[in-house]
Amino acid sequence: MAARMRNGYWVHNAPIGYRYKTVKGHGKLLIRDEPLASIIVEAFEGYASGRFQSQAEVKRFFESFPDFPRAKNGEIRQQRVTDILTHPAYTGHICSEVYGIHWLKAQHEPLISLALFNKVQERRQGVAKAPKRPDIGETFVMRGMVTCASCGASLRSSITRGNGGHYPYYLCQTKGCEAYGKSIPRDKLEGDVGDLIKTLQPTDTLMMLATAMFRDAWNARRDQAQDILNAAKRRITTIDKEIATLLDRIMAASNHIVIQSYETKISELEQQKALMAETLHSQPQKPDSFEDKLEPVLTFLANPWKLWETGHIHARRLVAKLAFAERVAYDRKLGARTPEIALPFKALGNIYTLQKKSGAPQRNSVEPIDVETVLQMLEDWEAQIRAEPAFYQWLREAEEIGSGNGTGEQVAPVSAPKLRGPRP
């Protein structure tokens, strides 16, 4: 068993998304098991991009498929979700603490890239925001995304009946808070948030400047692809030398703690080596064009308020989820406090400020724009936006919304980039 694992073969129960098949020259080999394999891939991609904000949302995603494996009681336990999201076999590698195997290239086909796997681990160790509630219904846009300005707790939502009607509202239910039990009409709170969204609506000229800047950065990244490959080759050579040195030290060491420390370092280096090897083999022959990859994201960036004004609850949730970097704090007397806005919108603000300064040196200059970081976030947004099947329908409705950006200026309908979504 140990020898077979060291040859790159998984020998335990097949992970969900795989099944065993006898293959000539290999014996029993893990192969894709559809449709479960595609479900697993979508779960990883959704969690990495932020489409699923928590592992609980991944669990509900799995539960939406009747044929997804369940426990004897018919449930999908949260531990199963954790086991899936942390299983190295999905990257096409073998790891075993028992046999001392660390990130060995496996014989079976990977379902996901190691880079995607690492991104999921980083998100698991962070703090998810704005989780999607299974009982959120079709009534409250900001449930889970708005907090009490007095105590910081999430505002709850409810509906009362009276005088022949229904009255939806938000309220703080934290005992001891000065706002405890005091309701805020839903339309007032969500209207105030809409006013915040309205201030983010960029002008057509500003979007043209931003698009040109992002396109230049995208092209520069493409031009650097060969440099990245050469750097990966050099790093693999360096890692091999470091591992060889550590193995020599293990052979010469007698202290168990020291040996364990060396083994931990070797495991980390093996993972780095696997990531570098994946980089070498995953470079596409023809990279995605700027327009094909980021078209829906830039269209969203150009139309946040208009998308909000369509009134669709899922469109509004998407706008609020992407526009703000944190949950919105709300005071029932003073209204919504200005939250930290997401980096792409912040970058638009910086571009506008630089444009107004006309290139002259200033003491109070804006923070430099990290265009590469903004591009990475836009790529994350792309996965979330494409996951909304009605996105282009919302955009068509948004085109009919009256222009305006909250500053009294009239804004020409944003037309860049050109929509390529499906038409009825």
SS (H, E, C) 279-340: HHHHCCCCCCCHHHHHHHHHHHHHCHHHHHHCCCHHHHHHHHHHHECCCEEEECCCEECCCC
Give the pair of three-digit tokens for residue 40.
């697993």
- C-alpha dihedral (347, 350, 352, 356), degrees to nearest 10: -170
Pairing of the two strands 165-171 and 156-162: antiparallel
Closest listed residue to residue 343, CA positions, set 34, 50, 100: 50
Q: How far apart are CA 414 and CA 424, in angstroms?
A: 21
115: tokens are 């880079």
* Cα–chain center distance at 291: 20
Continuous segment of H or E residues that includes residue 18: strand 18-23
Tens digit of pLDDT at every position of the chain (424 positions): 788 888 889 999 999 999 999 998 888 999 999 989 999 998 998 888 777 878 888 998 898 888 899 988 888 999 999 999 999 999 999 888 888 888 888 899 999 988 889 889 888 887 544 445 444 456 888 888 899 999 999 899 888 887 778 889 999 999 999 999 899 999 999 999 999 999 888 888 888 888 888 888 777 777 666 676 777 788 888 888 888 888 888 888 888 888 888 888 888 888 888 877 776 666 555 556 777 778 888 888 888 988 999 988 888 988 998 889 888 999 989 999 988 888 888 888 766 565 554 444 444 444 556 777 888 888 788 878 877 878 888 888 887 765 444 444 433 333 333 333 333 3
The Cα–Cα gap between 1 and 302 comes to 57
Q: Name the residue among 340, 229, 269, 289 with its Cα closest to residue 104.
A: 269
pLDDT of residue 355: 53
Per domain, the residue ranges of the chain are: 1-128, 201-424
Q: What is the pLDDT of residue 352?
A: 55
Peptide bond into 413 cis (omega under 30): no
CA dihedral sign of residues 392, 398, 399, 400: positive
Tokens for 398, please give them: 């948004």
| Fold adopted by 1-128 | Hect, E3 ligase catalytic domain fold (3.90.1750)
CA distances to 36, 39, 82, 207, 410 from 404, in Å: 46, 42, 46, 15, 5
CA nearest 404: which of 199, 193, 196, 189? 199
Rg (CA), the chain: 26
pTM: 0.57
Quote the pLDDT of residue 308.
92
